[in-house]
Amino acid sequence: MVKHRFNPIETNASLDGISEAEEQLASHSHSTDVEETSLSRDAQDVAEMLRSNTISKKVLDGVLRCADASLILLTGTLAYLGGAPIDISPLWLTFAMFEAAIVGVILFQMADLYQANALHKVISQVMRLITAWALVFAALITSLLLLLPSAEIPQTFLLKWFSTGAILLIIFRMIIRSFIVRWTRTGRLSRRAVLVGGGQSAADLIAELERQPNNDIEICGIFDDRANDRSPPSVSGYQKLGNISDLVDFARIAQIDMLLVTIPIRAEKRILQLLEKLWVLPVDIRLSAHADKLRFRQRASSFVGAVPFVDVLEKPIADWDTITKRAFDLFFASLSLLLLFPVMIATAIIIKLDSPGPVIFRQQRYGFNNELIDIFKFRSMHQNQTDSMASKLVTKNDPRVTRVGRFIRKASIDELPQLVNVLMGQLSLVGPRPHALSAKAENRLYENVVDGYFARHKVKPGVTGWAQIKGWRGETDTEDKIQKRVECDIYYIENWSVFFDLYILLKTPFSLLKTENAY
């Protein structure tokens, strides 16, 4: 059953929590769909309530499995170290521990010990855990009997291991249960969905979803371009919060997992018009197929219970991919800072000696999902001529650039402080480069030159990227150059992998040797 209904009429949520960055974004002078927020007060209130991220169930399940395996190995080690010496070779002992860990995770899975709903039931959970744990030892003893004489099986050790493991696994389950209860109550274990399209189609879909057992979809509102006479302001208790353009603004604030399009699949033209606006958002987009009674190939569809959806777009870099990419960033950014620290110190010194002013220059740029972030750079311009909005791009022999600035810009040394942005989580090491707010090509803002420009913000921007190693680095004085950059960025997003990131990272130093477009 859908657990939460966000009714902004009943909430007293305040807008005082809107960040300074959002205020600057709203007040920014040039007009784009993203920046001039036209959300109603109700929609803003709901969006503010949904600022916190949800917790991926895939990641949570994986963490629980790893934790259980680690606890089994830990308790086996404690039982071995805390008892009398046993007459068994280290090889057999190691085999026994890893067998118990692997079999334990498999049996715990079969006992539904990783289901969030099952974790709520204390007595049932404990009984299933003890039963599964006993079966682990039954399997362990059986395998040892096939390999060793019965007299050599260390019964005291196994008894200690069983009792210690049972106690610690139960305690761990109770701790996890407390977190699960709290996360469920606050909706952080739900998949947040917005319905695109209202009326009877939305009402039918809501009814279908609410009939599904163990449904984790949390409907956060409805957006529809149609007027109230064709699409009522409330459907099955859920509010219509605005039109499709408002939805883009809404999803820039709220942490939404998916958009469920309730418009019939046969309305192809209207669906395509919607997707042209919505594909820039970093969310899953699915078409509801329950009303069309169509059959789809499994790989092209997904289900919530028995409700079918056609998968149109998937959120890039989600679940474990997010953690993998973050680990990649932290490792290589830390290593790079360590190796390049002497270069950064020397650069800071010569900047200070060359011209008055601060060594580090901050500039606001677009980050993930159009969030405004401050990136760090070594100052390469004269202090009184810095351009925080980048309203005028740097050109060849630009008089604003200092002598040292020309060198560090050509070598991209001015970008090295952005490694700190990576450690802060604002940038990735590899990704689309973050563009300045007022950057232009042929006197036109980038977003006015390239259709779907903001789709490049579906992932975190990077210190280096695919566009840079493909030669699209430096000045973007023509519309064709920014078009090529964005094409490379979209290609990267759609084809991301850890090995792709590593390839780009290794190619970056060689791409820096091409300095003809870097001023």
What is the Cα gyration radius of the chain? Answer: 28
CB 131 within 8 A of CB 112: no
Closest CA to 144 of 107, 108, 75, 93: 93
Residue 329's pLDDT band (boundaries 50, 70, 90)?
A: very high
Cα 355–Cα 356–Cα 362 angle in degrees, nearest 5: 100
Which fold would CATH assign to domain 8-53+190-313?
A: Rossmann fold (3.40.50)
Which amino acid appears at position 490 of this protein? I
> Where is pLDDT greater, at 89 or 339?
339
CB 250 within 8 A of CB 194: yes
Q: Residue 221 — left, alpha, or beta (φ > 0 → left; ψ -120 to 50 → alpha)? A: left
> Where is pLDDT greater, at 500 or 401?
500
State the pTM of this model: 0.80
The angle, 0 to 180 degrees and rounded to 10, between the axes of the packed helices 90-110 and 57-81 is 140
Which amino acid appears at position 231 of this protein? S
Q: 492: helix, coil or strand?
A: helix
C-alpha 107/C-alpha 120 separation (Å) is: 19
> Where is pLDDT greater, at 344 or 291?
344
DSSP letter for 401, please. B
- Per-residue model confidence (pLDDT) at position 37: 58
* Average pLDDT score over residue span 413-434: 94
* Structure token digits, residue 409: 């810009």
Mention every residue, 6+ apart, whose C-beta is less than 8 A from residue 274. 196, 244, 261, 263
Residue 5's pLDDT band (boundaries 50, 70, 90)?
A: very low
pLDDT (tens digit per residue) in 117-169:
777 778 888 999 999 999 999 998 888 888 777 777 788 888 999 999 999 99
- Does the pLDDT of residue 296 top 60, yes or no? no
- Per-residue model confidence (pLDDT) at position 34: 39
Question: Domain extents for the chain?
Answer: 8-53+190-313, 57-185, 320-511
